[in-house]
Amino acid sequence: MSEHAPRAADMPPPRDASGLSQGAMRVIFTGTYRWLLASALRLRLTPFQLTLLSLVTNILVGVLLARGAFLAAGLLLIPAGVFDVLDGAVARHLGRASRAGAFLDSFLDRISDLIVFGTLTLVLAGEGRSLEASLALVALVVSLSVSHVRAEAEAAGVPLTAGLMQRMERAIAIVLGLLIPGGLVVALAVLAGLGAVTLVQRAWMAVAGAGK
């Protein structure tokens, strides 16, 4: 890394992705992304530290959800998502990207999903909100299944990154659902429905790719 402090203007833009919101997010938040990446580099945060920060923040989100503090949980999910984005970005910028790091990041992302959606399912079920609890459970199962299909496809030599509901879209949906009064059932329905579409989409692409 240069001896000069990293500047936002020198940082690369976010990587291209295929999710529903990626085009809009790239246009709207590129400047913020560059500033956050430069800040992380100035603070000398390592990819591993950022990954752990994301996990710890998601654990705190789970605690807040268990206490019924949905608004606070939604707000705390924002820095959790930022840490999740930055760990890979910092690793690539420093030339430290590795298969081991990618595996650890993916594994802890799944743990975070289990914490957030698992806790949300239990809390909603305990409050007698059966529809929301069912949707949260479906969203969790679909999220884990989408990641599993990708892992199995890549193990078979089929690169698989496409899909309507990527991690960014899931994060945006659950944050909005927790922050907007009455929005949770809509957010969970979107996560469950479009997540299922993404699962079918990736499974089809995996089978088609493996057959070539």
Both tokens of 116, joined, read 């957030």
CA 71 to chain CA centroid, nearest Å:
19
> Would you name the residues annotated as active-site residues?
109
If DSSP codes are grouped into helix, strand and coil, which group holds residue 195?
helix
The answer to whether 94 and 40 are in contact (CB under 8 A) is no
Residue 115's nearest CA partner among 56, 165, 186 is: 56
SS3 content of the chain, % helix, strand, coil (to 5): 75, 0, 25
What is the rounded CA–CA span in Å between residue 57 and residue 37?
18
What residues contact residue 81 under an 8 Å CB cut-off, 6+ apart?
A: 54, 168, 171, 175
Tell me 9's DSSP state. Answer: G
What is the amino acid identity at position 37?
L
Contact 54, 112 (CB under 8 A): yes
Cβ atoms of residues 165 and 128 within 8 Å: no
